[in-house]
A = this chain, B = another copy of it.
Amino acid sequence: MSGGLVIIGGGGAGISAATRARRVNPDIPITIYSQERRFSLSVPAQYDYTTDDRNSDGEMHLAREWRDLPDNIRVVSDSRVVRIMPEEKKLLVENRKRKAARSVRYDRLIICTGANPLRPLLPGAGLDGIFTMRSIRDSLAIKLYFDRYNPTQALIVGGSFVGLEMLENLREYPHVITLAERAPQLMGEALDADMAVLIEDYLRSRGINVITNCEAVGFQGEQRVSRMLGNSRDIDCDFVLMATGVYPNSQLAKDAGIELGCDNAIHINNRMETNIPNIFAAGDCVTTFHTVSGHHDYMPRPSTALKQGRVAGENAAGGDAAFKGAIGTAILEVFDLEISRTGLCEKECAALGIPCVTHKIKAPTRPTYFDTVGEINIKLIAEQNSLRLLGAQIVGNEGAGRRIDMLATAITLHATMDQLIDIDAAHAPAFSPVWDPLLEGMSRF
């Protein structure tokens, strides 16, 4: 009997792959092996659960995306794939309850094992009260801890996306919130320092204790954590969130002889094929082609995972699709500040040896006669000679962040910086000043 299409992992990429494969081929058997008991939400969605009473409600765990799953996709939950045997086209699968592993066949395989949070092996890292944030389980554990101990000194280690997103969820609880970042700036992988400093200033104005140049080297406490030891200073804390990044879950693939790329993510081509025939991979465990830099990068993003899963599913089911790549577009909201970015930073261009020019724009978000007027700061990066747009960063209020999509569109379509002024953007007083901030800025370019 044929094994059909087997997908390892029931996250965004896996579900997207299954759904697409079924659409392309109504007959192929499709099986998803998931370690979870139920499908997972996208990662950022889970932050909100930390402060949310709906955690106990199983129904809430099924985002709309997953409810649409066709019936004739078999989902084997609570099951862990422990080995891939490409020569025999077989997998070894362990069930959480029945421990004995059994072998299952596949014709085509898609690896969607996702990523895990980095948790540096520091002295004292096993103390109670030190968490990471990736799954619903993490959310629930944090919530339980807060309910039980009511911590008053929260520390977030790592000033990037997860760390900043979690700030907002914590603000109702502790008396003191500290954000410790080992680099000299926040969001070092996403923004240039001149934009990141705006975030730092803003967080301080909101009462967050921001400490840069401070790397955690250990923790102290009796049973529960009470202090972080840093390379530059120590910080008292009775709750710690380690938000120092994620790493791709690629060990299973590596053990099967699948080639890894940057950051040990699974290396794939634009059809989402690995180097081993009939094995595809997609989502937070794979590399992504960066269409601006022309390099493969590790850029785990929910929307990218879904697109990759879709392409892997189509191809594994006999279709012919290509994933063109991504440009690292991301957005996040912290209190009432919106932060977004796309393409390359100035410092990335420098590292890649791409000569570039930058243009910075600072404007109100709406006409200044409004009672509430926010600010928008935009940084544009373009190739020096051609002026081809390479990247953009935005820090601002009320709708500022969302403007990144216009710039991501322009970059994807190879626009030059001077073409931006030709774009007929929408104007209404509630949405923007007559001179759209972007256009106002460009008119001075």
Binding site for B on A (CB under 8 A): 12, 41-42, 44-45, 48, 54, 60, 63-65, 165, 301-304, 306-307, 310, 324, 326-333, 340, 342, 364, 367-369, 399, 401-406, 408-410, 412-415, 419, 421-431, 433-436, 439, 443
With beta carbons under 8 angstroms apart, the residue of B45, B399, B415, B421 that contacts A367 is B45
What B residues does A427 contact at CB under 8 A?
42, 44, 301-303, 330-331
Minimum Cβ distance to chain B for residue A218 (Å): 33
| Interface pairs (12), CB distance under 8 Å | A42-B434, A44-B427, A63-B368, A64-B367, A333-B428, A401-B431, A405-B405, A405-B406, A405-B425, A408-B425, A408-B426, A409-B409
Q: Is the CB of A434 within 8 A of B364?
A: no
Q: Is the CB of B329 within 8 A of A425?
A: yes
Q: Is the CB of A436 within 8 A of B303?
A: yes
Scoring A65, A330, A423 by chain B CB atoms within 10 A of each residue's CB, the highest score goes to: A423
Main secondary structure of the interface of A (DSSP, over half): mixed
With A and B bound together, what is the CA distance between A304 and B401 in angstroms? 24
What B residues does A304 contact at CB under 8 A?
424
Minimum Cβ distance to chain B for residue A414 (Å): 8
What B residues does A307 contact at CB under 8 A?
421, 439
Minimum Cβ distance to chain B for residue A259 (Å): 25
**Given known contacts A64-B367, A364-B64, is B426 in contact with A340 (CB within 8 Å)?**
yes
Name the residue of chain B whose CB is nearest to the CB of A54: B369
Minimum Cβ distance to chain B for residue A294 (Å): 15
With beta carbons under 8 angstroms apart, the residue of B44, B340, B342, B435 that contacts A306 is B435
Minimum Cβ distance to chain B for residue A178 (Å): 24
**Given known contacts A63-B367, A310-B443, A367-B63, is B429 in contact with A401 (CB within 8 Å)?**
no
Enumerate the 7 nearest inter-chain pairs by beta-carbon distance, A residue then B residue, closest first. Answer: A331-B426, A64-B368, A413-B413, A303-B427, A329-B424, A326-B424, A409-B409
With beta carbons under 8 angstroms apart, the residue of B65, B408, B429 that contacts A435 is B65
With beta carbons under 8 angstroms apart, the residue of B408, B421, B425, B443 that contacts A423 is B408
Minimum Cβ distance to chain B for residue A307 (Å): 7
Copies in the complex: 2
Q: Is the CB of B48 within 8 A of A428?
A: no
With A and B bound together, what is the CA distance between A223 and B330 in angstroms? 60
With beta carbons under 8 angstroms apart, the residue of B41, B301, B330, B429 that contacts A48 is B429
With A and B bound together, what is the CA distance between A54 and B434 in angstroms? 20
With A and B bound together, what is the CA distance between A301 and B435 in angstroms? 11
Q: Is the CB of A412 within 8 A of B423?
A: yes
With A and B bound together, what is the CA distance between A368 and B42 in angstroms? 12
Q: Is the CB of B424 within 8 A of A303?
A: yes
Q: Is the CB of A412 within 8 A of B405?
A: no
Q: Is the CB of A303 within 8 A of B439?
A: yes
With A and B bound together, what is the CA distance between A44 and B327 in angstroms? 36
What B residues does A54 contact at CB under 8 A?
369
With beta carbons under 8 angstroms apart, the residue of B42, B328, B368 that contacts A424 is B328
Q: Is the CB of B60 within 8 A of A428?
A: no
Q: Is the CB of A428 within 8 A of B324?
A: no
Q: Is the CB of B409 within 8 A of A65?
A: no
Minimum Cβ distance to chain B for residue A340 (Å): 5
With A and B bound together, what is the CA distance between A442 and B189 in angstroms? 30
Name the residue of chain B whose CB is nearest to the CB of A342: B424
With beta carbons under 8 angstroms apart, the residue of B64, B405, B428 that contacts A433 is B64
**Given known contacts A405-B406, A419-B413, A435-B65, is B369 in contact with A41 (CB within 8 Å)?**
yes
Name the residue of chain B whose CB is nearest to the CB of A302: B434
